[in-house]
Chains A and B, each alone.
Chain A
Amino acid sequence: MERNKRQRQRKVLLMGRSGAGKSSMRSIIFSNYVAKDVRRLGATVDVEHSNIKFMGNLMLNLWDCGGQDSFVESYLTNQRSHVFGSVAVMIFVFDISSKEVESDMHSFAMTIRALHEHSMNSKIFVLVHKMDLVPPEQKATVFQQRAVDVRSTCVDEGFAEQQVEFWATSIWDQSLYKAWTQVVYFLVPNATAIEGMLRRLADLLDARELILYERTTCLVVTHITRESEGQNPYTDRFERISSILKTHKHSMAKHTGTMTSEVSFAEMQIKTGDFMFFIVSFTENTNLAVVMPGDEAAFNAARVNVQLARREFNHLDIVEPSGKEAQRQQ
């Protein structure tokens, strides 16, 4: 049991120079801050560890590494193997508005050199951050240019191209959710098993789309899209829904005077002649959004069937089949 638990821990490094926006995004995604509140955060001193439970049993061991030069110096020297050992994912944040591009790149190069030494199989997510500060017409070129530069640095240090992914982000829009959804999808170990079960449920309901998302972060774990919904022109809808639901949570919390982390709705329904939509709490750590055609009878049947399916899905939070027992004993 102890061993199982440890296997479910994945170490995630969050790095980037001081002021890049690391703590801001961590607070928004995992601690229910709203974008305009992050100005109140102080600078991160040394490393802030947080153990984040995601989907119940996946423990994200997040190391938010303070970006001031003296700390970075110490990660690269006496703490080197401690910080860079057994890393599953490194998220590196670039402040695109920074004037010190050269020294940002240098600091990045030193960091991934250390990473390659101690965790050569790790995945790197590069977030080109504060994109809201780039005028709209320059966004694409600015992002591309940075991606090209950073990728060549990674390759120089010995990483394969497919080990590195790039995402443009800002705390002011849903791009932040898009990037973090990719990180989480990479880390959730049983994603394909979940998808298989969800697909069967979607077929049973004759649903247009199912979206399973994690309750506290509102990050999308996975989704099933069927038939004509595949042509939905809003390809960014999953991260948009994360962002909509997170905002909604804040809004309800504010209204009821509770903590955002405690808000959980029993059900939300939106019915139109064209489609019907509902969200219910599904397993202990997930909510499920269901999109149905605009048909009252099918909608009601779907609500019942989702309730019935919950039992079957309850063990989906568990990584390995043997983990079932562990869960029961807790």
Chain B
Amino acid sequence: NAPRAHYSRRKGNPKVLFMGLRRSGKSSIQKVVFQKLSPADTLFLESTTRIETASMQSFVTFESAEVPSQLSAIAPDFDHRAAFSSAGAVIWILDVQDEFLTSISEMIQTAVFLAENYPRVNFEVFIHKTDGLSDEYKNETFREVRQRVQDELSDLGHGDRSVSYFQTSIFDHSVFEAMSKVVQKLLPQLPAMEALLNKLCSTCRIQKAYLFDTVSKIYVATDASPTFLKDYEVCSDYVDVIVDIKQIYGWHSQEGDGKAASETSQEDGGIGESMVTYDNSGDTYIYAREINDYLSLICVMGKGSSTAKRVLIDYNVSILHDALLQVFRV
């Protein structure tokens, strides 16, 4: 992957561009991830004819844009400066359920164009609509696409260009996990957040810790232990439970002046609305804590981490909490 030094140099908000052929799923991904559209409702989406942007307010503002399929990056009338100069990443969406050779050749043209003109823009490939495919077929196609792209880029003299590949579907967690990894590379705060999470995990024997953007369920950082989709899934689902229950029973403050109150207390560095949640099912136990209005820490506690250690965890999490707020202050 791209070297770390990249991150801090980029100015402005993290911005991703979705590109790909017609009906490949660009609008669906943008709307499901950034605008909370339910995946089933994407059936009613119409074809996109103009650049469509979306943004999501979090601890930073995430921006995204869909480039309509008829606009080719290399076409002379395309204002590529406006599109690419502020972008952090271009995500190429490839529909695996469709004939994908055309998509690959357009993808190569775009990747080469970017490598030559905007080398600092990350290039990411979503091998999309993997729902309903057998694991075997899915993995085989994944390897095939990756091999082809890599071969062609080498032939064109861009073999050193780093491209990341993801298998995605809007009907499960995969598209969120992939977006998480894409977005993380655009955050200058990442190394600091990772260091804090590593510290927390080793002090409290936490199996896996994620820092979530609460609204989108993109995780903006995790500790250095191996990442498994299933850990992300359970934590992400848990964020849903908390958000839903908070919405249902938090209406007292949503209506009154509670919002203002939580904002002021945050400025003092205190916890606006603290939340501790745990759940116990077999050996797994999940702990969640709100960091601020946008970020939540969700931890999977492994075997043998008894609830008796809650005091230790609470204490260390509040230290992490304060440190994170410092990270975002600068």
Contact = CB atoms under 8 A, between A and B. Distances in A.
B171 A273 contact: no
Q: Tell which of B230, B258, B282, B284 has the most Cβ of chain A within 10 Å.
A: B282
B249 to A, nearest CB: 5
Interface string B245-266: 1111111110000100010000
Contacts of B282: 256, 258, 263
B327 interface: no
A277 B249 contact: yes
A273 B262 CA distance: 9
Given A252-B279, A254-B233, A256-B284, 16 more contacts: A36-B131, A234-B251, A240-B248, A244-B240, A244-B241, A247-B241, A252-B234, A254-B234, A256-B283, A258-B282, A264-B281, A268-B241, A272-B246, A272-B274, A272-B275, A275-B252
B245 A244 contact: yes
A215 B237 CA distance: 19
A206 interface: no
A255 B233 contact: yes
B328 interface: no
A252 B241 CA distance: 12
Nearest to B242: A270
The DSSP consensus for interface residues of chain A is mixed
Given A247-B237, A271-B274, A252 B248 contact: no
Contacts of A252: 234, 279, 281, 284
A135 interface: yes
A255 B245 contact: no
A241 interface: yes
Given A248-B241, A270-B246, A277-B245, A132 B40 contact: yes
Interface residues of B, number: 38
A312 interface: no
A36 B171 contact: yes
A274 interface: yes
A209 to B, nearest CB: 8
Given A234-B248, A244-B241, A271 B279 contact: no
A231 to B, nearest CB: 8
B244 interface: yes
B151 interface: no
Nearest to A132: B40
Contacts of A209: 249
B281 A274 contact: no
Given A234-B247, A248-B237, A268 B275 contact: no
A172 interface: yes
- The 10 A-B pairs at the shortest CB distance, nearest first, are namely A251-B237, A255-B234, A266-B280, A252-B281, A275-B249, A274-B253, A265-B281, A237-B248, A256-B282, A268-B279
B215 to A, nearest CB: 16
Given A256-B284, A268-B278, A274 B245 contact: no
Interface in A184-201: none
A321 interface: no
B44 interface: yes
A247 B237 CA distance: 8
28 contacts: A132-B40, A172-B38, A208-B249, A209-B249, A240-B244, A244-B240, A247-B240, A247-B241, A248-B237, A248-B241, A251-B233, A252-B281, A255-B233, A255-B234, A255-B284, A265-B280, A268-B241, A268-B278, A269-B276, A270-B242, A270-B246, A270-B275, A270-B277, A272-B274, A273-B253, A273-B273, A274-B253, A277-B245
B258 A274 contact: yes
